[in-house]
Each structure stands twice: as structure tokens, then as C-alpha cells.
């Protein structure tokens, strides 16, 4: 099998959601950072942190970044590396898991907090003049306010 054919099959497997619910020895975790050498540090819903490995079939074909959610399967022979990635979650699979009530509630709260903080962390360019434009409602209310102050 050529490299391109292999990559095509791996990408189809990742994109094609079979929507299988996690088994007993599998869990949904969040990637906190990449440690290199196909190892990723993850956080469980309970707050535990450990390393997981990327299987050979995903290497150089699929990339996982900080904040992504993955389905991992525990392995027994590892001291530091305690699990292996089975599936990389996308928006559709996350939505399906939430509908099936399998999604950890701890990750729901995490996402809401990150959305709030993202809007606060937006960079404001101080080198440009910022103009505030009045909408039609704002201009009407300012006219009403000025007429009230004049009558008094």
C-alpha cells in the first residue's frame, strides 16, 4: 500500500464517524499539551494528568493540538504512558456523545469558561483610532435625553 493510499484510508477512518459509544476501558479526555515523540499529556474529567501515545497509523497523518478531545484506551504495561489514542473527536462526534449523555459534564463547563475568556483576550490595536458609531436607536435616545435636559 502506498503512502498516499494509506493516508487516504486513515483520513476516511477519522472522518467517517461510526458513532460507537466508549467501551468500559475507554474514556474521553482533553489534550493539554504535546510532549513530543508522539506522546501527548491529557487531563481526565476527574483532573488526573498522564501521558498517552499516538498509534502508528495516525502518525504523520493526523495532528492533535492543545484543547482537542480524544478517546483513549487504557494500557497496562506503561508506567508513564497509561493509554493509547483510539479516536480523535470532531464536532459531530462530540455532539452525538452529548445527545447520548456520555459526554463528561466537566468538559462542558470548561468550554463555556474558555468561550468567555476568549472574548476578553482579544487583542486591541492601540495604533488605530477607534470610533464608536451610533445606531439609529442610540441617536434617537440621545436626542430625547437632550430635549429633556433643556426643558428642565
pLDDT digits (tens, 9 = 90+) for 16-71: 666 788 889 999 999 999 998 999 999 999 999 999 999 988 888 888 999 999 99
Sequence-ordered list of residues with C-beta below 8 angstroms from that of 57, at least 6 positions apart, any chain: 6, 10
- Give the CATH fold of the 3-107 domain: OB fold (Dihydrolipoamide Acetyltransferase, E2P) (2.40.50)
**Distance, CA of 120 to CA of 114 (rounded, Å):** 10
Q: Assign 102 a pLDDT band (cuts: 50, 70, 90).
A: very high
User: Does the pLDDT value for residue 84 go beyond 90?
Assistant: yes
The mean pLDDT value for 65-92 works out to 91
pLDDT of residue 138: 60
The pTM of this model reads 0.67
Q: Assign 119 a pLDDT band (cuts: 50, 70, 90).
A: low
Average pLDDT, the chain: 80
Q: What percent of the chain has pLDDT over 90?
A: 37
Burial of 115 (0-12, 13-18, 19+ CB in 10 A): exposed
The mean pLDDT value for 126-152 works out to 62
User: Does the pLDDT value for residue 150 go beyond 80?
Assistant: no
User: Does the pLDDT value for residue 136 go beyond 70?
Assistant: no
- Which of 32, 35, 63, 36 lies closest to 48 in space, CA to CA? 32
**Distance, CA of 83 to CA of 22 (rounded, Å):** 14
**Distance, CA of 83 to CA of 70 (rounded, Å):** 11
User: Does the pLDDT value for residue 128 go beyond 80?
Assistant: no
Q: How far is CA 53 from CA 9, 76, 100, in A?
A: 20, 13, 27
**Distance, CA of 41 to CA of 142 (rounded, Å):** 55
All 3 cell numbers of residue 84? 493509547
Q: In this predicted model, which residue has the larger pLDDT, 97 or 134?
A: 97
pLDDT of residue 100: 93
The angle formed by the CA atoms of residues 7, 11 and 17, to the nearest 5 degrees, is 155
Residue 68 dihedral angles phi and psi, to the nearest 5°:
-75, 155
User: Does the pLDDT value for residue 151 go beyond 60?
Assistant: no
Amino acid at each position: 500500500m502506498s503512502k498516499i493510499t494509506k493516508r487516504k484510508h486513515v483520513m476516511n477512518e477519522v472522518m467517517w464517524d461510526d458513532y460507537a459509544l466508549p467501551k468500559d476501558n475507554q474514556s474521553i479526555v482533553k489534550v493539554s499539551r504535546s510532549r513530543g515523540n508522539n506522546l501527548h499529556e491529557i487531563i481526565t474529567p476527574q483532573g488526573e494528568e498522564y501521558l498517552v501515545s499516538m498509534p502508528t497509523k495516525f502518525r504523520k497523518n493526523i495532528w492533535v493540538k492543545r484543547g482537542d478531545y480524544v478517546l483513549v484506551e487504557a494500557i497496562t504495561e506503561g508506567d508513564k504512558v497509561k493509554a493509547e489514542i483510539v479516536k480523535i473527536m470532531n464536532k459531530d462526534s462530540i455532539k452525538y456523545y452529548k445527545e447520548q449523555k456520555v459526554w463528561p459534564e466537566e468538559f462542558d463547563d470548561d468550554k463555556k469558561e474558555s468561550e468567555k475568556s476568549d472574548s476578553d483576550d482579544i487583542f486591541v490595536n492601540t495604533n488605530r483610532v477607534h470610533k464608536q458609531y451610533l445606531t439609529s436607536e442610540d441617536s434617537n435616545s440621545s436626542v430625547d435625553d437632550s430635549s429633556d435636559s433643556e426643558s428642565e
